[in-house]
Amino acid sequence: MRIKVITSNEGKMREYSQALGELGIEVFHGKVPYDEIQADTLEEVVERGMEELREKEGSFIIDDSGLFIDRFYGFPGVYSSYALKTLGNEGVLRLMAGEERRSARFECCIGCKIPGREPFMISGECRGAITKEARGERGFGFDPIFSADGERTFAELDLEEKNSLSHRGRAIAMLAERLAEEMGP
C-alpha cells in the first residue's frame, strides 16, 4: 500500500515514514495546498481538509496537531502553528515565566482516505509539562519545551522513543492498526 502524507512539515514526514514503514506501508511526501481553516478543534480542521482533498487525491493522510497549555485554557491549541511562528519557543517560555502550573498536552488528529473505503479520523494525546528552558536539538516545533516524562524534552529523545510517547506517535500507532485491518492478512 502507498499513501501520500500531505504536509509541509518534514519532521512529521519522518515520523510517519518510520512508523508506517515498519508495516510495509510506503508513504510519500505530498505538498498539496488546501485550506487549513481556523476552527475550535483539530477534528474540525482535519474534517474540512479531508472534504477539500477527497476529490483531488487518491490515498492520503493529513493531520493537525496542537500544544494545549492548561494555564492558558488550552492556548495555543489549534493556533499552535501561528503561535510557533509569531512567539516561538522563547515567547511561550516568557509567557510561562514564574508560573508553577506548567501542565500541558499535545494532541494530534489524523485523517485518512483510501479509495473504496470510508474516510476516517483518529486522535492521540500526550500529557506532560512545559519546561523552564528549551533543551535538545532533535524534533521540531514545540519539542524543545515539552516534556512527557518530567525529565527530558521531546527534542532530547531519539525519534523511536519520541514516537512511543508522543501524541502523533500514539495516533499513528492506531492508524497503523486500522490500516493493517483494512489490508487484511
DSSP string, 37-68: ---SSHHHHHHHHHHHHTTT-SSEEEEEEEEE
Across the chain, what does the average pLDDT equal? 91
The confidence band for 35, taking pLDDT boundaries of 50, 70 and 90, is: confident
The confidence band for 184, taking pLDDT boundaries of 50, 70 and 90, is: low
Angle between helices 10-21 and 167-183 (to 10 degrees): 40
CATH number, domain of 114, equals 3.90.950.10
**Cell numbers describing residue 134:** 528549551
- DSSP one-letter string for 140-171: -TTGGGEESSSS-BGGGS-HHHHHHHSHHHHH
What does the pLDDT average to over 127-137?
A: 97
Statement: residue 5 has pLDDT above 70: yes
Catalytic, 70? Answer no
Backbone angles phi, psi at 28, to 5 degrees: -135, 155
Distance, in Å, from the CA atom of 116 to the CA atom of 29, rounded to the nearest integer, reads 22
How high is the pLDDT of residue 159? 87
pLDDT tens digit sequence for 42-91: 999 999 999 999 888 889 999 999 999 999 999 999 999 999 999 999 99
What does the pLDDT average to over 101-108?
A: 97
Among 10-14, 46-50, 111-115, which is the least confidently predicted range? 10-14
Statement: residue 185 has pLDDT above 70: no
Query: What is the extent of the structural domain holding 153?
Result: 2-183
With CA atoms as reference, report the closest residue to 36 among 19, 24, 53. 53
Catalytic residue among 40, 63, 64, 143: 64
Query: Greater confidence, 160 or 120?
Result: 120
Statement: residue 117 has pLDDT above 90: no
Query: Greater confidence, 134 or 21?
Result: 134
What total of structural domains would you count in the chain? Answer: 1
Beta bridge partners of 120: 112
